[in-house]
Amino acid sequence: MRTVELGRTGLRVSELGLGLASLGGMFAAVPQRQAVATIDRAWELGVRLFDTAPVYGYGLSEQRAGLALRGRPRDEFVLCTKVGRLIEPGGPDVQPIWADPPAGMGPRLDYSYDATIRSFEASLERMGIDRVDVLHIHDPELDFTTASTEAFRALVDLRGRGTIRAISLGVNHADVAARFLRETTGVDVILLAGRYNLLDQSGADELLPLCEQLGVAVLAAGVFHGGVLADTADGAPHGYERVPQDVLRRIDVLREVCHAYDVPLLAAAVQFPLTHPAVPAVLVGARSPREIAEVAAWHEYEVPDAFWTALDRV
């Protein structure tokens, strides 16, 4: 699998990265053995970029990342996690999407300097790995003022000590990331979920040009738009109560272009973000070794240049 420079960080990453939210039990429980086998299969396929977070299964995702990765040569992969929530007994900021979280544990939102350092140290302990390469401030819009001052200052200090290599934001909102970049100096990476894919390209309005101008690398996640591109049955739950008709019509158009050029829709979905110069890599989720193998095959599918030209016209 191809590796690329991650912006100005000095890190090299595989073009395809594995996001570990699903392996923390997002929407449905995943057995530990299956989770570890999925990471192992990703490694066999050449994936060397792994992204987790404390809130993913309230520590479960990080624990499983550690089980699968801590025996690997540390300089051969790039590990990302997040700050902004502490996982603690009775943590009140729970999310209903986690299928099998540890009993009695929950997240507590806290972007203060001390909490950021504690969150980072707790992540290292859960994973049993000595360092994190990319540290994201997770969902900074939930307390933008504190996230952009105290949490950011903590990450600057960690990077200055060589404890992390890169400062990042993990966001679902492109405008929040753009504001953060305008109001601070020193962000290296943006993890942008769901805002630069075949169905939603709002990230290209302001954020991606700004990142290109500043030399900030963008990791594109949510390439299947919450699963809508993988399963477009009317009424299917993909973050919508019902998939809107205009989205279904857009997918029909995309399928027509894909058919004309003999390109699988999901191959186009995986590769589309990589056509932007600010995006060196994409992050995908997987629940099983079979799923990550399928996505890796879509990533490697040879898409003709004429397809992207035709896509620009629809």
Catalytic residue positions, numbered = 51, 56, 82
A 10 A CB-CB count for 126 gives 20
Beta strand pairing status for 134-138 and 166-171? parallel
Angle at 221 between CA 200 and CA 152, to 5 degrees: 110
Q: Which two tokens stand for residue 126?
A: 């859960």
Q: Which two tokens mark 10?
A: 């000095």
91: Cα separation from own chain's centroid: 24
Query: What's the rounded Cα separation, in Å, for the pair 113 and 153?
Result: 7
